[in-house]
Each structure stands twice: as C-alpha cells, then as structure tokens.
Amino acid sequence: MKQKIIIILVLLAFAGISSAQTDSLSLQEAVETALKNNYSIITTQKNFEISEENNSWANTGALPTVSFVGSAAQTYNFNETDNYKSTNLNATVDVNWVIFRGFSARIQKDMLEEYEKMSEGNLAITVENTIQNVITAYYGVLLEQENLNISELNMNLSLDRYQREKQKKDMGTSVSYDLLQAKNAYLNDTAAFLMAQTSFKNSVRQLNYLMSAPVGSQYVFTSDFELGNLDFSYEDLLAKMKSGNSTLLNQYVSLELSKLEVKSSKSAYYPTVSAGLSTGFSDMETDYITLNNMDNAASAFSTSANIAVSYDIYKGGSRRIAVNVAKIQDEIAALETKDLEQALENQLAQEFELFEVRKELVVLAEENLKAAELNLELSKMKFENGSINSFNYRDIQILYFNTALNYQNSVFNLVQSYYTLMRLTGGIIDDFN
C-alpha cells in the first residue's frame, strides 16, 4: 500500500511539472530579464536620475535670483465734505546675485558631479550584484535539475532491485530480510527524489524572484554548465580589479568628496561679495465724487543698484573646527581606501587560489564519476547473475549516487569561483553587455 502511495505521489508531482506552461530560458535571457525588471535596479536607476537632475549650477547658489512683487489696492472714503476713492498700484523687480563667496559655488558643483559619479557607481554595483545573483541562481537550478535526474535514476535502480527481490521471494529463492532491505532502500531513495524535486522547484522560484517574474513561472532551461576562458593570470586580474572594481571606484569617489569637503570648509574664511538691482513702479490716484478740482494722480518709476562686501572677522573658532574635522574625515577616507584596496587584493588572492583548486577538483570528480558509472554498470550485471549480493550492490549504488552529486557540486563551485573573479575585476558586466 505504501509503495502505491509513493508511486502516485511521484506521478502527481511529475504531472504538476508537465501540466504547467513552460518557456525556454537561457542564461543570457535570464540575465537580460533581470536587468530589465529587477526592482533594485529600477530603484537605483531612479536615484541616479535624481543625482543627474541635482547636478546643476542652479543648486550651487552661483546664479542670480530674480523676484517680483506687485500689489494693488483701492480705498473708499466717506465723509461730510465729499466722498472719494483712492487707487494704489505698486510693482517691484529685484535682482540679487552673490558674486563671490570663497569659491564655494565651484566646489559645490564639483561635489554634485562626484555625487552623480557615486550614484552611477551604485547603479553599476547593483547591476553587477544582480547579474551574479542571477547567474548563481540559474546554475543553481541546473544543479538541482541534475540532482533530480540522479535521484530519479537512483530511485529507479532501487525499484528494479526491489521488484527483483519480490520475484525471488515469490519463487522461494530469497528471504524476507533481503526483500525488506530492498524495500527500505527503495523507500529511502524515493523520499530523496521527492526532496530533490522540492529543491528544484524552490531554486526555480528563487530565479523568478530575481527576474521579477511570476513565482509560478516554469521553463525549459537551455544553457549548460559552460564557462569562458579558464586560464587566468593573477597579475592581470589584479590590474583589472584596481581599475575596474565598482566598489573600489566608488571608494575613490568618496575620497575625492572628502577632499572637496576640506576645500568647502576653508571657503568660510573668504569674504562674500554680492550685488543687487531693484526696479520699481508706483501709481496713486485719488478721485472725488463732486469736488473734481481736488482729484490728483501721481506715478513714479525708480531703480537702484548696490554692491556689498561682508566678512566674518571672528566666529568663535567654528571655522577652524570645521576645517580640522574635514581634514580628519579626509584622513579617515584615505585609510578606508587603503583598507579596501588591501581587503580586495586579499579576497582576489583567495578566490584565485580557490578557483585553481576547483578546476583540479572538477577533473578529479569527472574521472571519479566515470569510474563509478562503470562500476555501477558492472555491479548491476553481477547482481543480476548472482555474483554479488544485494548489500554489495547497494553499497556501489550509494557510491555512484554520492559521486554523481559530488561531480555536479564541483562544477557548480567552479562556476561560482569563475563569476566571483569576474565580479571582483569588474568584468561581469562585459560578459553580459
């Protein structure tokens, strides 16, 4: 009864996969979809657009301001002599311009440009992280798919063994103990297959999440475990990392901003020169009801210009403190840059060595898998003709299962190391340009 239930569950699971609509999906398509739809990329792109808008002379105070003030009023006066009304019109245009304030406008513009560079760098970092995450998720799906195939093969081998033991038991050539062992192995391998199926579905859901695709989307995955050039020179990778690592480039921008902060704090020691221009027009008219000889009207046009120089002789030492703090923060930024350079170089050395080791491990795992496949094939024939018992066959079956999984994991680990190196050296975007 349990055997029938398990078989039904497996068939239903397969039916659930095959009944859903599937589309083909390559690694390139997965990356392109994520770059188009990923919410983190879209948000970071919007922030970059904001920094582009902010990078303007209008935000530095370097441009003059023009203001207009206008008013109109009409007054009615009722008295014993005569009633009259008064009309007043006034308009003023003021132009104000801070001509000089210690080069702060130029410094502010330079800072806005650096902030735009940093925002662009943040976008590059987000894109790189997304690409690496999608690649890892896609190859993770391929890994789980291979594990599922291996688990299915292992389950079928156990089923074949179990059915053979049942036939032997029916013929009286096998004992109940051997039948129970075969049944137990089949049930365990079926459970492992169901768990592998769950892991595969979860890996597809994770890939859909990274691509911002519907969680239930299913695909036929057309890419294989393929890598580019696997021969790297550490010196070349180090040079590329120093010139192309997005995190390091952003740190250089932070260092430049800290230097501009020092210049900005020093600008407070300079005087401020400002100029202004004002133009006004006024019109007043009084209109009596009966005493028209008392009516009067007057209008005037005025203009004025001014220039002012102001300088703070003493501000209680606040300017000196601001300069000293900015210098200390610049020193901190320089130390953080050196620390990041050293940390990245250390990480690159570790990843490069790990990559070289994993290349060798893939070769060893492949040779081991070939031997395990041949051993399983020979052992199956020996088991069928009675040369080895079921326990020996089971041991060889488990050995093949573990060896096959180890090979797939070795390839997956090599892929991870490869794209980690690409990410560290800033080349991962070029691979999917």
CATH of the domain at 252: 1.20.1600.10
With cut-offs at 50, 70 and 90, classify the pLDDT of residue 18.
very low
Tell me the residue range of the domain where 32 lies: 2-37+103-269+316-431
Q: What pLDDT does 433 receive? A: 58
pLDDT band at 172 (very low <50, low <70, confident <90, very high): low
Between CA 433 and CA 429 the distance in angstroms is 6
pLDDT at 289 over 90: no
Asked if residue 38 lies in contact with residue 210, where contact means CB atoms within 8 angstroms, the answer is: yes
Report the DSSP pairing between strands 22-25 and 272-288.
unpaired
Quickly state the pLDDT bin for 20 (edges 50, 70, 90). Answer: very low
* Domain assignment of residue 49, yes or no: no
pLDDT tens-digit profile of 198-210? 999 999 999 999 9
How many domains does the chain fold into? Answer: 1
Q: Which two tokens stand for residue 212?
A: 């911002």
Calpha distance 14→219 (Å, rounded) = 14
Q: Which of the two residues, 18 and 204, has the higher pLDDT score?
A: 204
Average pLDDT over residues 162-173: 75
Are 423 and 128 in contact by the 8 Å Cβ rule? The answer is yes
pLDDT, position 336: 95
Q: CB neighbours of 6 closer than 8 A, spacing ≥ 6?
A: 187, 190
Predicted confidence (pLDDT) at residue 239 exceeds the cutoff of 50: yes
Q: Which is nearest to 33 in space by CA: 209, 211, 217?
A: 211
Query: What is the C-alpha to C-alpha distance for residues 237 and 352, in angstroms, rounded to an integer?
Result: 9
- In this prediction, residue 185 carries a pLDDT of 85
Report if residue 353 sits inside a domain.
yes
| Domain contains 59 | no
User: Residue 154 and residue 22: Cα distance in Å, rounded?
Assistant: 26
Handedness of CA 265, 267, 270, 271 (dihedral sign): negative
Q: What percent of the chain has pLDDT over 90?
A: 57
Please say whether the dihedral angle defined by the alpha carbons of residues 57, 63, 65 and 66, taken in this order, is positive or negative.
negative
Distance CA 298, CA 369 (A): 106
CA-based nearest residue to 348, from 431, 227, 231, 237: 237
| Contacts of 373 by beta carbon, 8 Å cutoff, 6+ apart | 400
Q: Residue 12: is its pLDDT beyond 80?
A: no
Across the chain, what does the average pLDDT equal?
86
Between residues 381 and 225, the one the model is more confident about: 381
CB atoms near residue 405 (< 10 Å) = 19
Dihedral sign for Cα 121, 127, 129, 135, please: negative
Res. 17 pLDDT band, cuts 50 70 90: very low
The pLDDT of residue 86:
80
Question: Considering the domain boundaries, does residue 381 fall inside one?
Answer: yes
**Average pLDDT rounded to a whole number, residues 410-433:** 87
pLDDT at site 80: 67
CA distance 373 to 402: 11
Judge whether 305 and 93 are in contact, CB under 8 Å.
no
Burial letters 355-371, b for 16+ CB under 10 A, else e: beebbebbeebeebbee
Sheet holding 84-100, edge to edge: 65-77, 84-100, 272-288, 296-310
Structure token digits, residue 172:
């009286």
Q: Are 196 and 154 in contact (CB under 8 A)?
A: no
Query: Does the pLDDT at position 432 exceed 70?
Result: no
DSSP 211: T
pLDDT score at 353: 96
Question: Does residue 56 fall inside a structural domain?
Answer: no
Does pLDDT of 125 surpass 60? yes
Q: Please provide the distance, in angstroms rounded to a whole number, between the alpha carbons at the two ends of the chain.
A: 56
Tell me: pLDDT of 175 over 70.
no
Confidence at residue 351, expressed as pLDDT on a 0 to 100 scale:
95
Q: Which two tokens stand for residue 387?
A: 């040369």
Question: CA–CA separation, 49 vs 43, rounded Å?
Answer: 10
Which pLDDT score is estimated for 11? Answer: 34
Q: Is residue 183 in some structural domain?
A: yes
CB 225 within 8 A of CB 142: yes
What is the pLDDT averaged over residues 87-116? 92
Lowest mean pLDDT among 172-176, 187-191, 337-341, 387-391: 172-176
Which helix (DSSP H) or strand (DSSP E) does residue 89 occupy?
strand 84-100
Between CA 49 and CA 53, with CA 51 as vertex, the angle to 5 degrees is 70
Structure tokens at 87: 């009309």
Q: Is the pLDDT of residue 3 over 60?
A: no
Token digits of residue 24:
């083909």
The DSSP H or E segment spanning 165 is helix 104-171
